[in-house]
Amino acid sequence: MLHDYHTHTNYSDGDLMHRMLAAAENSELDAIGIADHCNVSDREIMKEKKHSLGFNLDMTYKRRRKAINRLKDDYDVTVFDAVEIDYHPADEDAIEAFMADAGFDYIVGSVHFIDDVNVHYIEHFEALSEQQRKDAVDQYFDMLVTMIESEIVDIAAHMDVFERNPALRGFATDQHYGAVADALADSKTVPEINAGRLLDEYGQPHPSDPFFEALMEHDIDFTFGTDSHTPEQLANRIPALQQVFEDRGVSPVTLDAVV
């Protein structure tokens, strides 16, 4: 069985749902997880960022669920009703309260912000000193470990996503990787191998090869996540990510809760 647990639709920053489901069927996926972006922080700065991006799944997930239920029988693929939540330790209470009511099939957790700045914001991090950029990566890993230890999420997404930003690339250390590996070894959270920039400028899967090797010392399992936002990405990333799994000598696992 091949389950892609990490895709997006027009309920955040992806393509129309029926186009994504058709692409999943055409790509012969057994299951596709619709995990649109969501931020439920009560902090004003994060509410402003959410409103500027238009990521409002916290208000629209019931409407999306109706769309999933209407469409899922039209395609020969199982469809999971999931979410990709922005994690910050200060937002744990808000996240847990929202998830208790929402009833998603599973939760993908992501650290997208360092000091409330998106990790993809190249110009911001380029303007920092080298020490400040190292400190930023330290903060990222601290939040990632805290997220895993919180047991709030089922899947830890693109665990070195900051590597997509050339201003932050190369500051991760074996100590960072070891701390994440230790946390995952004691957690129900499963990391993904993510294809989000595999075919683009960055050209690497998440986690990177050295990060992956550190995790394998703890026999960590991985889910399959293309992080696709369009049908074309889905079609292209599935075989590319399958090749990554083959090259690394591991097989993707399925989530017990939604098999």
Contacts by 242-245, CB closer than 8 A, 24 or more apart: 242/2, 244/193, 244/195, 244/198, 244/205, 245/193
Under CATH, domain 3-258 is a member of which superfamily? Metal-dependent hydrolases (3.20.20.140)
pLDDT in tens, the chain (259 residues): 999 999 999 999 999 999 999 999 999 999 999 999 999 999 999 988 888 888 889 999 999 999 999 999 999 999 999 999 999 999 999 999 999 999 999 999 999 999 999 999 999 999 999 999 999 999 999 999 999 999 999 999 999 999 999 999 999 999 999 999 999 999 999 999 999 999 999 999 999 999 999 999 999 999 999 999 999 999 999 999 999 999 999 999 999 866 5
Q: How far is CA 69 from CA 62, 79, 80, in A?
A: 11, 9, 10
Decide: 176 and 208 in contact? Cβ < 8 Å: no
| Alpha-carbon gap, residue 84 to 167, rounded angstroms | 25
- Peptide bond before 207: cis, by omega within 30 degrees of 0? yes
Name the β-bridge partners of 200.
none
pTM given for the model: 0.97
| Alpha-carbon gap, residue 59 to 209, rounded angstroms | 38
Q: What are the extents of the domains in the chain?
A: 3-258
